[in-house]
Structure 1
Amino acid sequence: MKKMTTGSKVGLVLLCAAVMSACSANTGETSAVETAQSESATATNVQLASVKLSDLVTFDEEDAVTDWSKENSTMVELSGTSATVSGSGAEATDGAVTITDAGTYVLSGTLSDGQIIVNNEDKETVRLVLNGVNIKDSDSAAIYIKEAGKVVITLQEGTENAVSDGATYVYGADSTDEPSSTIFSKADLTINGTGKLSVTANYNDGITSKDDLKIMSGTTEIHAKDDGIVGKDLVAVQDGNISITAEGDGIKSTNDEDATKGFIAIAAGTFDIKTSNDGIQAETSLVIDGGTYTMVTGGGSENGEVKTGDRGQGEGKGMGMGMRGDRNAESGDQAALTTETSPPSPPTKTETSTTTTTIESETASTKGLKAGGYITVNNGIFDIDAADDAVHSNSNVSITDGKFTIKTGDDGIHADALLSIAGGTIDITKSYEGIEGANIAISGGESHVVASDDGVNVAGGNDEATVEGAPQDQFSESATNMLTISGGTLTVDAAGDGLDSNGSIVMTGGTVSVNGPTNSGNGALDFDGSFEQSGGTLVAAGSSGMTQAPSDTSSQHSISMTFTETQQAGTIIHLEDSEGNTILTFAPSKNYQSVVMSSPDLKETGSYTLYSGGTSNGSETNGIYADGEYVGGTKVVAFDISSSVTWLNESGVTTAQTNQGPGGGGGRTRPEGGKSK
């Protein structure tokens, strides 16, 4: 387990990155610019601490062994309610096959009402080869591993195997609640081979291990009354084709007592997961190196909670979108709680119980990828349709590569602490808030966000208005909260704020385009501290009521243009220098009245002209045209740059309100001739 300790330490490194940036800003001895740049450097280097599956788990040699011979195995032929055992180490009695010795046991045939029991008190390795079996047990687990050092289930090549249980379990003693799943193991459990396993869990979970659970290969199809796959200490998947339909969680780990356990690590595989609760839920950490994932949770984004709160009037900064308080015991499914009278949950596990008691009913957690600790995605293809957050961590999220297609009823990607995007492609086509964290660092990749509220949100939000008497998602507003953009491409379509930081923004590179909002109570840019820009390309088009621009202490120049009338979506805004060289050509996808532009090509003392309308035959990406020729536009204003931020209206250069906090820059009302309306 030494390597799991390593993974825990890496998670600590990620958290320390955010903590150190906070400490550096509280000295009171550095300028806002220096503090922001220091925090930016810390945040953008976080991806160097990325965790991989090999940092957390080792697959043993015996995990991969699938070969067997008849001469060296015990053959078990199942037939109705009995079985024939050829060899040593097992016996068949009253419909149950009990295995007591280490070795390889090859099972075939049908057991119409019976059980396979492994009870190896010497704690050695037992191998079960499923060679075309159909095992049903009407009142308990189909395969029950009471004791062993490790059990390896091999799905024989070319075979189809099925296990199922009844809707009610009967126990010998009231104090016992195990087994509780169709395949239940109190020892380490590994599944390998290239055959197929179908699991029907009518009572509770599909496959459970109270220790480690590893899946090496094979095709596994699970239909579960509650959770699909559960490993208490860990779930590790090397490869395989896994399909899960569950009324609880899809894949989960549950150890909340040991920080080096309770994690999920996936190297590869194909996953088709449909759940009423979370898709993949790790009690501690979740690491994904690859694989293909199709996931629908809680009925999908169309079943997301309708947000009734409105932060669109410039109020409620810091109202918070932190952790939802739903990491609870082993289930991790609790959120807002109410009290009602109903049968006990989970139901009592005897056929005769009719007890009725008063309990707390829970609002289910319906997230896609979820972890109580950090989430690291190094690669993979993800198609997630979630009623709640698509990706959610109580700690840090690090995305270094991969392809995400996301629809969600709440946040697209959420981290309670630091969210780092260093690569990959992220397409959030539907969300309440798109990308959210206490600190966010974007250093690479291509991200597209569509949000009904804020597109990118640092330590803010408005979920607390959505659940009566139970405030949710409370971030602590702090001057150290930071949105850092040093590379990559970010495109935002937001009904609320485009880029919203309840701290500051630092931009040193990359390309950012913002479309929206269209209502005057939000802004394309919204920050409480400063916006220090020293590189990259920024264009943000939206309403004018809350206009802000990069701070006047920025080393890169920017302009902020406010029109008298609303411009229609698709109307090009074109900026060129006095020699006719294009600085920026942009066609916003939504109506707009204010545009902020910043480019390394904007120079002090330079002369520029802004045009509206017209067409461009250049290549268009996310509304920004590259190369090509711009023609047919109407001249709006010509101006010279003499300061870091140039504020414009149709009459020329104007001044700005400076009530945005440290660093100066734009006001929260539309500038027009130095006056605000």
Structure 2
Amino acid sequence: MRRLIPLALPLALAGLVLAGCAVTAQPATTLSSASPSASAASSIESSVQTTSDIDSTIPEAAAELLAANADGTVVNDDEWSIADAETITLAGSTASSDSAGVSIDGSTVTITAAGVYQLSGTLDGNVVVAAPDDAQVILVLDDATIASTSGAAIQVVTADDVAINLAAGSTNTVTAASSADADASAAIYADSDLTVSGSGALTVTDTGNDGISSTDDLAIIGGTITVDAADDALRGKDSLVVKDGTLTLTAGGDALKSDQTDDATQGYVWIAGGTIDATATDDGIDAWTDAVITGGTVTLATQDDGIHSEIALAIAGGDVTVAESNEGIESADIRIAGGTTHVTSSDDSVNGSGSTSTSEGGMGGGMQDTGETVTISGGTLVIDAEGDGLDSNGSIEMTGGDVTVYGPTGQGNGALDSNGGITVTGGTLVAIGSTGMAESPDESSAQGWLAATASGSAGSTVQITDAGGTVVADYTATKAFGSVVFSSTAITDGQAYTVTVDGAATSVTAGVAVAGGMGMGGGGMGGGRP
């Protein structure tokens, strides 16, 4: 199992871990007379920075995951100069350039040396980077259209780090029909670290496989980028990081993906900023190890999981909307620590499942606690579920934040469902759903809670008042329901409260589960589903 820094790690220490030394490539040992000047090459070669340069205010629930993962590589725009660029003019079935670092063979343009290259015009062919293994190559697309009918339109065969910069005010198009079993299985394919940056626009279409793919780190730090791919839209094998930009993604597979399986510190997706609108046949975000969201605006509509990771998943900032999904958010270790998250699902919305203990021989189903965790310490989470709302094959712990669960309506699921119990010590929790598998917090929870059998329909008003008639909470249901669970600092165990639905009042005692169906903590039926 991969070692993770303990969740209790002080944030200051996490910041020190995250602020590790940047990894920089070494300058090439020789430069041809027609290559960029020595000073320019030195600037290019020192341009690599790592994703460890993050905001130290990131909640530790996410910061410790970032600290446990390897740095990804980013080439920033301010560390190279367009004044050093060599020009490549694209002209239909051929191209021209005065650079000694460029060779042209029919409709194939090959870049063989480190440097900055500005591409303009239209090419019915391929741009290939076959530079030394230690080279850094900057491709500035300035109103460039590249269309390939045989493999990747832009392919990095060899280089250390490559950046595709979208020139200000430019509109660029890259189109290909790559094959799934080809060496380069994407319209833009890099056998190196790849950064996409700038303020221009880029449209990428691949009718055969992925849109933009890197076998190492893929970083998106700018640009207005539209990708329509037969399979994955954006894929960074070692890591995928989005720090800025406006992304519109349509994928026959996953929209954003990292799938390195050989290194437990890689295979992660980190959304730190930008605006993402993704539609996917499979997952919206799919990470082999961790998925971390600390900023940006993310809207996902998927036919499978909205966000899926195998090890851990943290939302600590930003605005996340899973507008459509089978299961909304799924991982063995789910942490909601900040931001605003809305999840709509046809099955479970937030699902703690698939832990290492399960894969190593745990029961993985039924009533067994198989070690998964759902931890909520901050932020706002709103759930609209047809399956279980807040669900864990292990435990659920809430120490802060604001959680509202609407649904399910079916009796075979519950708004709250755990195999290992629910503890609440802070925050505000309301779960309005069906009665069949309803569960309430454990009786040992430090914060007061109440549970009531009270039914209503979409549009019904649910009001909770204390013994003195003071309104404690007021909600409007979005679908039919038969049970209400509520916890906040305003609730005191042992005290009497009234839950009123459309004028019909039900009296309850806080901290007491409803007999026969409301909660494992109080001896009721609750929980029990994987």
Give the TM-score of the pair, scaled to structure 2.
0.74
Matched, 1:126 2:137: yes
Amino acid at match of 1:392: E
Q: Deviations over 1:534-576 (max 9, x none)?
A: 5424242348xxxxxxxxxxxxxxxxxxxxxxxxx76978663
Q: Select which of 397, 419, 424 maps to 1:441.
A: 397
Matched, 1:412 2:324: no
Q: Which runs of 5+ in 1 are unaligned?
A: 17-46, 170-175, 299-365, 460-480, 507-530, 544-568, 616-632, 648-655, 669-677
Relative distance call for 1:122 and 1:660 in structure 2 (3 A) is closer
Q: Is 1:92 aligned with 2:104? A: yes
Equivalent AA in structure 1 for residue 118 of structure 2: V
Say if 1:163 and 1:198, in contact at 8 Å, map to a contact too.
yes
Q: Which of 129, 133, 146 is the matching residue for 1:135?
A: 146
Q: Distance in 1 between matches of 2:341 and 2:286?
A: 18
Separation in 1, partners of 2:487, 2:263: 50
Partner SS for 2:382: strand
1:422 matches 2:341:
no
CA spacing shift, 1:603–1:259, aligned 2, 3 Å: closer
Give the partner amino acid of 2:305.
K
1:456 partner letter: L
CA contact (8 A) 1:57 1:236 kept: no
> 2:452 and 2:518 mapped to 1: Cα distance?
20
Distance 2:285 2:321 in 1: 13
Residue 453 of structure 2 is aligned with which of 531, 534, 541? 541
* Aligned pairs (5 A) from 1:301-340: none
* Equivalence for 2:63: 51
How many Å separate the matches in 2 of 1:484 and 1:161? 52
Which of 105, 110, 116 is equivalent to 2:117? 105
Q: Is the 8 A contact 1:542 1:595 kept in 2?
A: no
Give the structure 2 partner of residue 195 of structure 1: 200
Alpha-carbon contact 2:450-2:485 (below 8 Å) kept: no
Q: TM-score, normalised to structure 1's length? A: 0.59
Q: Deviations over 1:261-309 (max 9, x none)?
A: 11111210100101111111011111111110111102xxxxxxxxxxx
Q: AA paired with 1:236?
A: V
1:495-534 aligned at under 5 Å gives the runs 495-497=434-436, 499-500=438-439, 505-506=441-442, 531-534=443-446
Residue 368 of structure 1 is matched in structure 2 by 306
Change in Cα spacing, 1:297 to 1:659, as seen in structure 2 (3 Å) is closer
Are the equivalent residues in 2 in contact too, given 1:51–1:287 (CA < 8 A)? no
* Alpha-carbon distance in 2 for matches of 1:380, 1:120: 38
Partner SS for 2:283: coil
Would the aligned equivalents of 1:268 and 1:290 in 2 still touch at CA under 8 Å?
A: yes
State the Cα deviation string for residues 77-130 of structure 1 (Å, max 9, x = none): 000100001222111111101111111111110002x11011113431111111
Aligned to 1:487: 426
Choose which of 361, 378, 383 in structure 1 pairs with 2:321: 383
Q: CA deviation at 1:441?
A: 0.6
Give a deviation string over 1:321-370, Cα, whole Å, max 9, x none: xxxxxxxxxxxxxxxxxxxxxxxxxxxxxxxxxxxxxxxxxxxxx11111
Asked which structure has the greater RCO (Cα within 8 Å, sep 6+), the reply is: 1
CA distance in 1, matches of 2:217, 2:373: 29
Q: Deviations over 1:240-274 (max 9, x none)?
A: 11110111110101111110111111210100101
One-letter identity of the residue aligned with 1:536? G
Mapped to 1, the partners of 2:107 and 2:279 lie a distance apart of 34
Q: Which residue of 1 aligns with 2:254?
A: 249
Distance 1:666 1:418, change over 3 A: closer
Listed one character per residue, the Cα deviations across residues 417-471 of structure 1 (whole Å, up to 9, x for unaligned) are 1111111111112331111111111111111112222001102xxxxxxxxxxxx
C-alpha displacement at 1:406, in angstroms?
Answer: 1.7
What secondary structure sits across from 1:379 in the alignment?
A: strand
Distance 2:73 2:184 in 1: 26
Paired letter, 2:245: G
**CA–CA distance in structure 1, aligned partners of residues 146 and 315 of structure 2:** 37
Does the aligned pair in 2 maintain the 1:454–1:500 contact within 8 Å?
A: yes
Deviation of the 1:388 alpha carbon: 1.4
Match in the other structure for 1:81: 93
Partner of 2:295: 290
**Matched residues in 2 for 1:592 and 1:211: separation?**
50
Which moves more between the two structures, 285-294 or 425-434?
Answer: 425-434
Higher alpha-carbon Rg? 1
CA distance, structure 1, for counterparts of residue 488 and residue 134 of structure 2: 67
Measure the CA separation in 1 of the matches of 2:169 and 2:121: 15
Question: For 1:581 and 1:373, how far apart are their aligned partners in 2?
Answer: 46
> Distance in 1 between the 2:250 and 2:513 partners?
57
What is the Cα deviation at residue 392 of structure 1?
0.8
User: How far apart, in 2, do the equivalents of 1:138 and 1:86 lie?
Assistant: 27
Distance 1:388 1:227 in 2: 18
Tell me if structure 1 keeps the 8 A contact 2:62–2:294. Answer: no
Equivalent positions of 1:211-222 (< 5 A) are 211-222=216-227
| Amino acid across the alignment from 1:398 | R
Residue 378 of structure 1 aligns to a residue whose secondary structure is strand
Structure 2 vs 1, CA of residues 371 and 86 (structure 1 numbering), >3 Å: closer, same or farther? same
State the alpha-carbon separation in 2 of the partners of residues 224 and 193 from structure 1.
Answer: 22
Classify the secondary structure of the residue corresponding to 1:261: coil
- CA shift digits 1:203-257 (9 cap, x unpaired): 1100111111111111111010111011111111211111101111101011111
User: Superposed, which structure 2 residues align to 1:225-236 within 5 Å?
Assistant: 225-236=230-241
Letter in 1 for 2:324: A
Any idea what SS the aligned residue of 2:244 has?
coil
Q: Which amino acid aligns with 2:135?
A: E
What letter matches 1:79 in structure 2? A
Aligned position for 2:185? 180
Matches of 1:104 and 1:389, distance apart in 2? 44
**Secondary structure in structure 1 of the residue aligned to 2:375:** strand
Q: Which amino acid aligns with 1:540?
A: A
1:89–1:245 distance in 2 versus 1, CA, 3 Å: same
Deviation at 1:588, TM superposition (A): 9.4
CA distance in 2, matches of 1:107, 1:420: 49
Equivalents in 1 of 2:243, 2:418: separation in Å? 35
Q: What do residues 454-499 of structure 1 show as CA deviations (whole Å, max 9, x unaligned)?
A: 001102xxxxxxxxxxxxxxxxxxxxx1211111111112124575
Contact 1:455 1:497 in 2 (8 A): no
Once the 2 structures are TM-superposed, how far is the Cα of residue 15 of structure 1 from its aligned partner? 12
- Structure 2: gaps spanning 5 or more residues: 10-58, 354-371, 526-530
Alpha-carbon deviation of 1:183? 0.5
Where 1:414 maps in the other structure, the secondary structure is: strand
Aligned length: 447
Q: How many Å separate the matches in 2 of 1:202 and 1:594?
A: 48
Structure 1 contact 294–383 (Cα < 8 Å) conserved: yes
Alignment of 1:383-402 (within 5 A): 383-393=321-331, 395-402=332-339
Task: Name the structure 2 match of 1:526.
Answer: none
In 2, Cα distance between equivalents of 1:659 and 1:159: 59
Is the Cα contact below 8 Å between 1:433 and 1:457 reproduced in 2?
yes
Q: Could you say what secondary structure the match of 1:278 adopts? A: coil
Q: Which amino acid aligns with 2:251?
A: A
